[in-house]
Amino acid sequence: MRRLLFPVLMWLASCMPVASPETASRAAASLGDLGPLPAMKSFAQAHPAPPVISNADLSRDVLDLAFALESGRALEQFSRFETPVTVTVQGKAPPSMGPDLDRLLQRLRREAGIDISRASGAEANITLVAVPRDEIRRHLPQAACFVVPNVSSLQEYLSARKSRRVSWTSVTLRERVAIFLPADAAPQELRDCLHEEIAQALGPLNDLYRLGDSVFNDDNVHTVLTGYDMTVLRVFYDRALRSGMRRDEVAARLPAILARINPEGSR
């Protein structure tokens, strides 16, 4: 019986959908049934503390975040948006999403210096696609939400998901990105996804366990962007960098960038 059981279990496992190692996502929390939850708290304005970190460490972090995926696969080139970034929403998003999105975009403009705003029409650089949680789990069972390049809808993603078109390893310049969010999740979970996935759509695609003060860490210690995260995004969109640069080219420019952005880190 044991000899028969093992092949059956292996066959069942092979039938389960597996997340692509080239897809950036936020891990789903495994909290079980918590019962009724209190009402979500909302915060009119965030006041994150600036990072207390040496520029040597910050330079190492930026390079490791920019030139690898969560799977550990290396990225050959630096990529970002090179034009003002527009954001639009598709699907039946819950009422809480609009105010949370507006507050986040305001923070990105103010703290990271990124020219980002809501799009007036359907076309945008970043499309937030609100879909049922079960739809996300069907394609990436371990993800709460995920971000994909070069598509703007779920149908477009499904038709291209086995091609290099939606692989971050082939992206040199970011122009269109879709973020798939659970429309039926609790407001807190949706807000967490907004912060981490929009940050990944704009900048780092990697997560590092050593980063205690960051959303770029799959331990999910932080649920909204920290002062450290905003500093990393400000570096990503500094005028001295551009899409397509190699790791050594970015490394050569980081000391001057960080001396200007994080002068305390020089000491």
Domains of the chain (ranges, CATH numbers) = 52-266 (3.40.390.10)
Number of other residues whose CB lies within 10 A of the CB of residue 179: 24
- What pLDDT, on the 0 to 100 scale, is given for residue 3? 54
Dihedral class, residue 150 (left if φ above 0, else alpha if ψ from -120 to 50, else beta)? left
CA quadruple 125, 67, 161, 17: dihedral sign: negative
| Contact by Cβ (8 Å): 259, 266 | yes
- Residue 128 phi/psi, 5° resolution? -90, 115
Instruction: Walk along the chain (267 residues) and give the pLDDT tens digit of each residue.
Output: 545 444 444 444 444 344 455 665 555 544 343 344 444 454 445 566 778 899 999 999 999 999 999 989 999 999 999 999 999 999 989 999 999 999 999 999 999 999 999 997 778 999 999 999 999 998 888 888 999 999 999 999 999 988 999 999 999 999 999 999 999 999 999 999 999 999 999 999 999 989 988 999 877 666 799 999 999 999 999 999 999 999 999 999 999 999 999 999 998
Q: What is the pLDDT of residues 224-251, one digit of tens each?
A: 999 999 999 999 999 999 999 999 999 9
CA quadruple 136, 67, 202, 208: dihedral sign: positive
Please list, in sequence order, all residues whose beta carbon lies within 8 angstroms of the beta carbon of residue 78, skipping any fewer than 6 positions away. Answer: 66, 67, 241, 242, 243, 244, 245, 246, 247, 249, 250
| Contact by Cβ (8 Å): 97, 130 | yes
d(C-alpha 170, C-alpha 168), whole Å: 5
- What pLDDT, on the 0 to 100 scale, is given for residue 33? 39
Number of other residues whose CB lies within 10 A of the CB of residue 76: 11
Number of other residues whose CB lies within 10 A of the CB of residue 180: 30
| Contact by Cβ (8 Å): 63, 247 | yes
- What pTM value is reported for the model? 0.83
Amino acid identity of residue 210, one-letter, is R
